[in-house]
Amino acid sequence: MKKIFLLILLTISFILTGCSNSSLSKISIDEVKEKMNNKESFIVYFTSENNKKLEKNLSEVLEENDLQGYKVDINKIKDEDENSFRLLVDYEDSSVVFVVNGIDSSKLSHITNDDISKKDILKRLIDMNFIKRS
Protein backbone atom coordinates (compact mmCIF):
# COMPACT_ATOMS: atom_id res chain seq x y z
CA MET A 1 0.00 0.00 0.00
CA LYS A 2 2.84 2.37 0.85
CA LYS A 3 4.48 1.68 -2.52
CA ILE A 4 1.29 2.52 -4.40
CA PHE A 5 0.83 5.72 -2.41
CA LEU A 6 4.47 6.71 -3.02
CA LEU A 7 4.12 5.95 -6.73
CA ILE A 8 0.98 8.07 -6.99
CA LEU A 9 2.62 10.92 -5.04
CA LEU A 10 5.73 10.82 -7.23
CA THR A 11 3.63 10.76 -10.39
CA ILE A 12 1.60 13.77 -9.28
CA SER A 13 4.69 15.76 -8.30
CA PHE A 14 6.39 14.86 -11.59
CA ILE A 15 3.35 15.98 -13.57
CA LEU A 16 3.08 19.24 -11.63
CA THR A 17 6.75 20.14 -11.99
CA GLY A 18 6.90 18.94 -15.59
CA CYS A 19 3.84 20.97 -16.56
CA SER A 20 5.19 24.19 -15.16
CA ASN A 21 5.14 26.70 -18.01
CA SER A 22 6.61 29.68 -16.26
CA SER A 23 8.01 32.32 -18.54
CA LEU A 24 10.21 33.55 -15.64
CA SER A 25 12.77 31.00 -14.49
CA LYS A 26 14.80 31.52 -11.34
CA ILE A 27 18.48 32.12 -12.04
CA SER A 28 21.55 32.85 -9.91
CA ILE A 29 23.95 35.73 -10.48
CA ASP A 30 26.60 33.18 -11.49
CA GLU A 31 24.26 31.97 -14.23
CA VAL A 32 23.60 35.59 -15.28
CA LYS A 33 27.38 36.17 -15.47
CA GLU A 34 27.81 33.02 -17.55
CA LYS A 35 25.09 34.11 -20.00
CA MET A 36 26.74 37.52 -20.25
CA ASN A 37 30.17 35.94 -20.84
CA ASN A 38 28.58 33.89 -23.62
CA LYS A 39 27.35 37.15 -25.20
CA GLU A 40 23.70 36.08 -24.90
CA SER A 41 20.71 38.41 -25.10
CA PHE A 42 18.10 37.90 -22.40
CA ILE A 43 15.63 39.54 -20.03
CA VAL A 44 16.22 39.42 -16.30
CA TYR A 45 13.91 40.57 -13.51
CA PHE A 46 15.55 41.53 -10.19
CA THR A 47 13.41 41.42 -7.08
CA SER A 48 13.75 41.10 -3.31
CA GLU A 49 10.08 40.75 -2.70
CA ASN A 50 7.29 39.67 -4.93
CA ASN A 51 5.99 42.65 -6.80
CA LYS A 52 2.91 40.82 -7.93
CA LYS A 53 1.73 43.33 -10.54
CA LEU A 54 5.04 43.83 -12.37
CA GLU A 55 5.90 40.14 -12.19
CA LYS A 56 2.43 39.09 -13.37
CA ASN A 57 2.38 41.57 -16.27
CA LEU A 58 5.93 40.71 -17.33
CA SER A 59 5.29 36.97 -17.11
CA GLU A 60 2.08 37.25 -19.15
CA VAL A 61 3.70 39.35 -21.89
CA LEU A 62 6.65 36.95 -22.10
CA GLU A 63 4.36 33.94 -22.28
CA GLU A 64 2.06 35.56 -24.88
CA ASN A 65 5.10 36.22 -27.08
CA ASP A 66 6.82 32.87 -26.48
CA LEU A 67 9.77 34.49 -24.69
CA GLN A 68 11.74 33.26 -21.70
CA GLY A 69 12.85 35.62 -18.94
CA TYR A 70 14.84 35.08 -15.79
CA LYS A 71 14.25 36.10 -12.19
CA VAL A 72 16.98 36.87 -9.64
CA ASP A 73 16.17 37.07 -5.93
CA ILE A 74 18.51 39.86 -4.86
CA ASN A 75 18.22 38.75 -1.22
CA LYS A 76 20.30 35.74 -2.22
CA ILE A 77 23.19 37.82 -3.60
CA LYS A 78 26.05 37.71 -1.14
CA ASP A 79 27.43 41.08 -0.07
CA GLU A 80 30.91 40.26 -1.38
CA ASP A 81 29.47 39.39 -4.79
CA GLU A 82 27.13 42.36 -5.09
CA ASN A 83 29.73 45.06 -5.83
CA SER A 84 31.43 43.13 -8.62
CA PHE A 85 28.07 42.08 -10.06
CA ARG A 86 26.83 45.67 -10.09
CA LEU A 87 29.74 46.53 -12.39
CA LEU A 88 28.16 44.19 -14.95
CA VAL A 89 24.48 44.93 -14.32
CA ASP A 90 23.13 48.13 -12.84
CA TYR A 91 19.94 46.79 -11.27
CA GLU A 92 17.45 48.00 -8.70
CA ASP A 93 14.89 46.12 -6.66
CA SER A 94 11.89 45.25 -8.83
CA SER A 95 13.59 46.12 -12.09
CA VAL A 96 13.67 44.44 -15.47
CA VAL A 97 17.01 44.57 -17.25
CA PHE A 98 17.61 43.85 -20.92
CA VAL A 99 20.97 42.24 -21.63
CA VAL A 100 21.91 42.47 -25.29
CA ASN A 101 24.87 40.47 -26.59
CA GLY A 102 26.15 40.07 -23.04
CA ILE A 103 25.92 43.77 -22.12
CA ASP A 104 23.43 45.54 -19.85
CA SER A 105 21.61 47.60 -22.46
CA SER A 106 21.35 50.82 -20.45
CA LYS A 107 19.77 51.99 -17.25
CA LEU A 108 17.51 54.15 -19.43
CA SER A 109 15.94 51.04 -20.95
CA HIS A 110 15.32 49.25 -17.63
CA ILE A 111 11.78 48.82 -16.41
CA THR A 112 11.60 50.14 -12.86
CA ASN A 113 7.97 51.21 -12.70
CA ASP A 114 6.01 48.78 -10.53
CA ASP A 115 2.73 49.85 -12.15
CA ILE A 116 3.83 49.44 -15.76
CA SER A 117 1.11 48.06 -18.01
CA LYS A 118 1.38 45.00 -20.22
CA LYS A 119 1.11 47.30 -23.23
CA ASP A 120 4.13 49.32 -22.08
CA ILE A 121 6.14 46.16 -21.34
CA LEU A 122 5.33 44.91 -24.85
CA LYS A 123 6.43 48.23 -26.35
CA ARG A 124 9.74 48.06 -24.45
CA LEU A 125 10.34 44.49 -25.65
CA ILE A 126 9.72 45.63 -29.23
CA ASP A 127 11.98 48.69 -28.78
CA MET A 128 14.74 46.42 -27.44
CA ASN A 129 14.29 44.01 -30.40
CA PHE A 130 13.27 41.05 -28.27
CA ILE A 131 10.05 41.00 -30.27
CA LYS A 132 10.08 41.61 -34.01
CA ARG A 133 7.03 43.35 -35.44
CA SER A 134 6.36 43.98 -39.10
79: domain CATH number is 3.40.30.10
Helix/strand/coil percentages in the chain, nearest 5:
50, 15, 35
**Is residue 73 a contact partner of residue 48, using CB atoms and an 8 Å limit?**
yes
Residue 14 lies in a domain: no
Lowest mean pLDDT among 61-75, 98-112, 116-130: 98-112
pLDDT average, residue stretch 32-58: 91
Q: What percent of the chain has pLDDT over 90?
A: 51
Read off the pTM.
0.78
* pLDDT value for 1: 64
Count how many domains the chain has.
1
Residue 4 lies in a domain: no
Look up the domain containing 36 and give its range: 25-127
- How confident is the model over 8-34, as pLDDT tens digits? 554 554 444 444 458 999 999 999 999
Beta-carbon-side half-sphere exposure of residue 19 (alpha carbons within 13 Å) = 6
* pLDDT value for 4: 61
Burial of 15 (0-12, 13-18, 19+ CB in 10 A): exposed
Residue 120 lies in a domain: yes
To the nearest whole number, what is the mean pLDDT of the chain? 84
